[in-house]
Amino acid sequence: MVKKSKNKDKIKPTLKSFNCRSCGSTVNIKILGNTINVTCSSCKAIIDANDPNFKILQEGTSKRTQEPEIPLNSRGKLFGVLWEVTGFLVKSDGPYYWTEYLLFNPYHGYRWLVEVDGHFAFYKRIHKSFAYNTYTKNISYKSNGYKIYNRGLAKVEYVEGEFFWRVKKGDTTEVADFINPPYGLSCEQKLGEVNWTLGHHVDQQRVIDAFKLKDGLLASAGVGALQPSPARARFQKYFKTLVASLAIIAIVQVLRMVHADNKLVHSDVIEYTRSISPNYKRGESNSYKSEVFSISGGKSNVKLWAKSKIRNAWIYLDALLVDAKTQKGIPISLEISYYRGYDWSEGSLDSSKFAYNVPDGDYYLNIKTRGGGSLRNSELITIKVYRDTIIYFNLIFSLVLIGILPLVTYLASFNFETQRWSNSDYSPYVHWDN
């Protein structure tokens, strides 16, 4: 931390005062040693503060193009430092205009608070040479990439206050803004002198609170160039969760695949017969009862799989997996249906159905078949019973479920970015036809 002198008294900053050579009003310079350009608070003439005679550089027009929303000389604490508004500029580039507040603190130097359509950004100078020309689209700074957002000619429309550089109405500078929200890199060029500044978005409310603006600020319009996207933040959060969930699901699935028994416990071929003869299969009326098979290895799922080579027909297997000891049945019914034309098909020749948490024991199947469509009088159906098989449905269902929030927030984020870039000539969302 910076320690200030203890043994010496506080120094009262001195002012330099003189009379404006244009209107005679008193002009004060507060930031001695730095200010070289000052405006008369009364007639707004721009004066050379470095000149012993305080010559007028540009006569003032009493008309203000825009009232500063943050008053000159007001002070506010932003990011832990007390700043004084020492200068106010209005600049334009064609139909667009924006305002810039020059902030000062003798221990911290200068900063800029730039306002565009009610969106604020706080900039400080950076000191390095960039590989840059007027075609540069991407710039890297401290291993972050910045994309070109705006390039143009900024024209000074209005000047008020104290400045450490020469500035007057009509001055133009080449400007380029590169963004990586909430950060931005800006380049100003004039007569070979290049200045780079690094900025970040500041919430309007923070500016209002800092400078205690009783009437607040005009509402912001649209999405600011550096405005952080709430949807993007949410998307990133959900995306992280998504990745973590996918990892867990993948591990669980792999473990299932490794450990799944997938054991065939029973297989048979049964027959569907159109019930012309009610006494088919020794009077069992087209129903099938399997021999008893044993299921062991712990509670697990049981899969009934069935296949029949039918065409344009359906067969319903009204099936029960019956515990041979208790005679309790677990429903495990399924339907096979298959239709086809010369260039289409619908349904499938096979089908399967699960019963869950089936305890070990001896079981048999009890199946009644029904059918419809162009069935022959008799159709053969292969059936197989497995225990402890991998269920892919759970996997797919959970993937869809955990994918919903990331997808919704991604779309919202996309929408936000489209709005952000709507004020830029370099929007990645718009493709201009030549």
Among 1, 219, 258, 276, binds another protein (CB under 8 A): 1
Position 36 contacts another protein (CB under 8 A)? yes
Position 54 contacts another protein (CB under 8 A)? no
Among 54, 101, 110, 238, binds another protein (CB under 8 A): 110
Q: Which residues contact 214 (CB under 8 A, 6 or more apart)?
A: none
Which residues from 142-161 bind another protein, rule CB under 8 A?
A: 142
Among 165, 305, 314, 339, binds another protein (CB under 8 A): 165
Position 13 contacts another protein (CB under 8 A)? yes
Which residues from 265-324 bind another protein, rule CB under 8 A?
A: none
Question: CA–CA separation, 320 vs 326, rounded Å?
Answer: 13
301 to 39, 137, 354, 361, 385: CA distances (angstroms) = 85, 58, 7, 13, 11
CB-facing half-sphere around the CA of 373: CA atoms within 13 A: 14
SS3 assignment for 92-141: EECCEEEEEEEEEECCCEEEEEEEECCEEEEEEEECCCCCCCCCCCEEEE
Minimum distance from CB of 181 to another protein (Å)?
Answer: 21
Nearest 5 degrees, angle CA 104-CA 109-CA 112?
A: 55
Given a contact cutoff of 8 angstroms between Cβ atoms, the answer to whether 105 and 122 are in contact is no
Task: Give the residue with the Cβ less far from another protein, 73 or 241.
Answer: 73
Given a contact cutoff of 8 angstroms between Cβ atoms, the answer to whether 89 and 158 are in contact is yes
Helix 392-420 vs helix 230-259: crossing angle, to nearest 10? 160
Task: Give the residue with the Cβ less far from another protein, 77 or 376.
Answer: 77
Which residues from 193-212 bind another protein, rule CB under 8 A?
A: 193-194
Among 11, 191, 219, 258, binds another protein (CB under 8 A): 11
Among 18, 21, 23, 34, binds another protein (CB under 8 A): 34
Among 25, 32, 250, 296, binds another protein (CB under 8 A): 32
Among 54, 104, 386, 416, binds another protein (CB under 8 A): 104
- The residue whose two tokens read 């028994």 is 261
# residues contacting another protein (CB under 8 A): 42
Say what the alpha-carbon torsion angle 353, 355, 356, 361 is, to the nearest 10 degrees.
-140
Binding site for another protein (CB under 8 A): 1-6, 8-14, 16, 30-34, 36, 50, 82, 104-110, 125-131, 142, 164-166, 193-194
